[in-house]
Amino acid sequence: MASKPDDSLLIQIAESETDLAHCFDIRTRVFVGEQDVPPELELDELDKTAVHFLAWLAGEPIGVARLLNYNRAHRPTAKIGRVAVLKHLRGKGYGLALMEAILDFARQRDFEEAILDSQTYALPFYEKLGFIAEGPEFLDAGIPHFRMRLRL
Protein backbone atom coordinates (compact mmCIF):
# COMPACT_ATOMS: atom_id res chain seq x y z
CA MET A 1 0.00 0.00 0.00
CA ALA A 2 1.59 3.27 -1.05
CA SER A 3 0.51 6.86 -0.99
CA LYS A 4 2.87 9.56 -2.10
CA PRO A 5 3.44 13.27 -1.78
CA ASP A 6 6.92 12.16 -2.85
CA ASP A 7 8.02 9.10 -4.84
CA SER A 8 10.15 7.75 -2.00
CA LEU A 9 7.26 7.61 0.53
CA LEU A 10 5.96 4.12 1.29
CA ILE A 11 3.17 3.33 3.71
CA GLN A 12 2.81 -0.24 4.90
CA ILE A 13 1.17 -2.30 7.57
CA ALA A 14 3.71 -3.05 10.29
CA GLU A 15 3.91 -6.82 10.55
CA SER A 16 7.35 -7.72 11.85
CA GLU A 17 8.72 -7.16 15.33
CA THR A 18 11.21 -4.71 13.78
CA ASP A 19 8.39 -2.74 12.14
CA LEU A 20 6.48 -2.60 15.42
CA ALA A 21 9.63 -1.44 17.23
CA HIS A 22 9.89 1.43 14.72
CA CYS A 23 6.23 2.31 15.37
CA PHE A 24 6.69 2.36 19.13
CA ASP A 25 9.94 4.33 18.83
CA ILE A 26 8.29 7.08 16.77
CA ARG A 27 5.33 7.24 19.15
CA THR A 28 7.64 7.44 22.15
CA ARG A 29 9.70 10.20 20.55
CA VAL A 30 6.64 12.26 19.61
CA PHE A 31 4.16 11.68 22.41
CA VAL A 32 6.44 10.97 25.38
CA GLY A 33 9.47 13.02 24.33
CA GLU A 34 7.79 16.06 22.80
CA GLN A 35 4.39 16.14 24.51
CA ASP A 36 5.21 14.68 27.94
CA VAL A 37 2.63 11.89 27.74
CA PRO A 38 3.48 9.35 30.46
CA PRO A 39 5.02 6.23 28.84
CA GLU A 40 2.52 3.96 30.58
CA LEU A 41 -0.33 5.81 28.83
CA GLU A 42 1.28 5.84 25.41
CA LEU A 43 1.88 2.13 24.90
CA ASP A 44 -1.18 0.16 25.95
CA GLU A 45 -3.01 -3.15 25.69
CA LEU A 46 -4.82 -1.99 22.55
CA ASP A 47 -1.54 -2.18 20.64
CA LYS A 48 -1.88 -5.98 20.67
CA THR A 49 -5.08 -5.92 18.57
CA ALA A 50 -4.46 -2.80 16.47
CA VAL A 51 -3.39 -2.66 12.85
CA HIS A 52 -0.24 -0.51 12.86
CA PHE A 53 0.73 1.62 9.86
CA LEU A 54 4.30 2.70 9.26
CA ALA A 55 5.41 5.39 6.81
CA TRP A 56 8.89 5.18 5.32
CA LEU A 57 10.74 7.94 3.49
CA ALA A 58 13.87 6.98 1.57
CA GLY A 59 14.16 3.81 3.64
CA GLU A 60 13.76 5.50 7.03
CA PRO A 61 10.68 5.16 9.28
CA ILE A 62 9.07 8.60 9.67
CA GLY A 63 5.42 8.21 10.65
CA VAL A 64 2.97 5.93 12.34
CA ALA A 65 -0.69 5.40 13.21
CA ARG A 66 -2.90 2.59 14.43
CA LEU A 67 -6.40 1.44 13.59
CA LEU A 68 -8.75 -0.39 15.94
CA ASN A 69 -11.99 -2.16 15.10
CA TYR A 70 -14.34 -0.12 17.28
CA ASN A 71 -17.84 -1.25 16.38
CA ARG A 72 -20.16 1.29 17.89
CA ALA A 73 -23.93 0.79 17.97
CA HIS A 74 -23.47 -2.16 15.59
CA ARG A 75 -21.87 0.14 13.02
CA PRO A 76 -18.45 -1.01 11.73
CA THR A 77 -16.21 1.81 12.96
CA ALA A 78 -12.48 2.29 12.50
CA LYS A 79 -10.89 4.11 15.44
CA ILE A 80 -7.69 5.77 14.29
CA GLY A 81 -5.12 6.85 16.83
CA ARG A 82 -1.51 7.46 17.71
CA VAL A 83 -0.95 9.39 14.47
CA ALA A 84 2.56 10.82 14.50
CA VAL A 85 5.19 12.08 12.06
CA LEU A 86 8.72 12.93 13.10
CA LYS A 87 9.04 16.62 13.94
CA HIS A 88 11.46 17.62 11.18
CA LEU A 89 9.12 16.18 8.50
CA ARG A 90 5.80 17.68 9.60
CA GLY A 91 3.96 20.01 7.26
CA LYS A 92 5.24 18.28 4.11
CA GLY A 93 2.17 16.14 3.36
CA TYR A 94 3.42 12.87 4.85
CA GLY A 95 0.83 12.81 7.64
CA LEU A 96 -1.92 13.48 5.13
CA ALA A 97 -0.68 10.62 2.91
CA LEU A 98 -0.54 8.34 5.95
CA MET A 99 -4.13 9.19 6.88
CA GLU A 100 -5.34 8.70 3.30
CA ALA A 101 -3.77 5.22 3.26
CA ILE A 102 -5.49 4.33 6.54
CA LEU A 103 -8.85 5.60 5.30
CA ASP A 104 -8.43 3.59 2.07
CA PHE A 105 -7.66 0.51 4.17
CA ALA A 106 -10.80 1.11 6.28
CA ARG A 107 -13.00 1.57 3.20
CA GLN A 108 -11.67 -1.63 1.62
CA ARG A 109 -12.68 -3.50 4.78
CA ASP A 110 -16.20 -2.06 4.75
CA PHE A 111 -15.97 0.16 7.80
CA GLU A 112 -18.87 2.62 7.70
CA GLU A 113 -17.16 5.40 9.63
CA ALA A 114 -13.87 6.44 11.12
CA ILE A 115 -13.43 8.20 14.43
CA LEU A 116 -10.43 9.67 16.16
CA ASP A 117 -9.59 11.85 19.12
CA SER A 118 -7.71 14.86 17.76
CA GLN A 119 -5.55 17.15 19.79
CA THR A 120 -7.30 20.51 19.54
CA TYR A 121 -4.46 22.20 17.64
CA ALA A 122 -4.65 19.45 14.95
CA LEU A 123 -8.37 19.91 14.11
CA PRO A 124 -7.63 21.70 10.78
CA PHE A 125 -5.40 18.81 9.67
CA TYR A 126 -8.20 16.25 10.11
CA GLU A 127 -10.84 18.61 8.73
CA LYS A 128 -8.89 18.59 5.43
CA LEU A 129 -9.72 14.89 5.25
CA GLY A 130 -13.42 15.50 5.92
CA PHE A 131 -13.52 14.72 9.64
CA ILE A 132 -16.00 16.74 11.69
CA ALA A 133 -15.48 17.58 15.37
CA GLU A 134 -18.27 16.65 17.75
CA GLY A 135 -19.03 17.01 21.41
CA PRO A 136 -17.17 19.04 23.99
CA GLU A 137 -13.41 19.39 24.27
CA PHE A 138 -11.89 16.89 26.72
CA LEU A 139 -8.49 16.12 28.22
CA ASP A 140 -6.56 12.99 27.32
CA ALA A 141 -3.17 12.62 29.04
CA GLY A 142 -3.60 16.27 30.06
CA ILE A 143 -3.88 17.43 26.42
CA PRO A 144 -7.07 19.06 25.02
CA HIS A 145 -8.82 16.88 22.42
CA PHE A 146 -12.03 16.66 20.39
CA ARG A 147 -13.70 13.50 19.08
CA MET A 148 -13.94 13.64 15.28
CA ARG A 149 -15.97 11.51 12.87
CA LEU A 150 -15.92 10.77 9.15
CA ARG A 151 -18.55 8.75 7.29
CA LEU A 152 -16.79 6.39 4.91
Query: How confident is the model over 23-74, as pLDDT tens digits?
Result: 999 999 999 999 999 988 899 999 999 999 999 999 999 999 999 998 766 7
Would you say residue 84 lies in a domain? Answer: yes
Asked whether residue 72 is assigned to any structural domain, the reply reads yes
Determine the Cα–Cα distance for residues 126 and 118; give it in Å rounded to an integer: 8
What pLDDT is attached to residue 6?
63
Domain count, the chain: 1
Domain, as residue range, for 50: 9-111
User: Cα-flanking dihedrals φ and ψ of residue 11, to 5°?
Assistant: -120, 125
Q: What is the CATH number of the domain that holds 35?
A: 3.40.630.30
In a domain, 140, yes or no: no
pLDDT digits 0-9 by tens, 89-148: 999 999 999 999 999 999 999 999 999 999 999 999 999 999 999 999 999 999 999 999
* H/E run at residue 67: strand 60-69
Judge whether 65 lies within some domain. Answer: yes
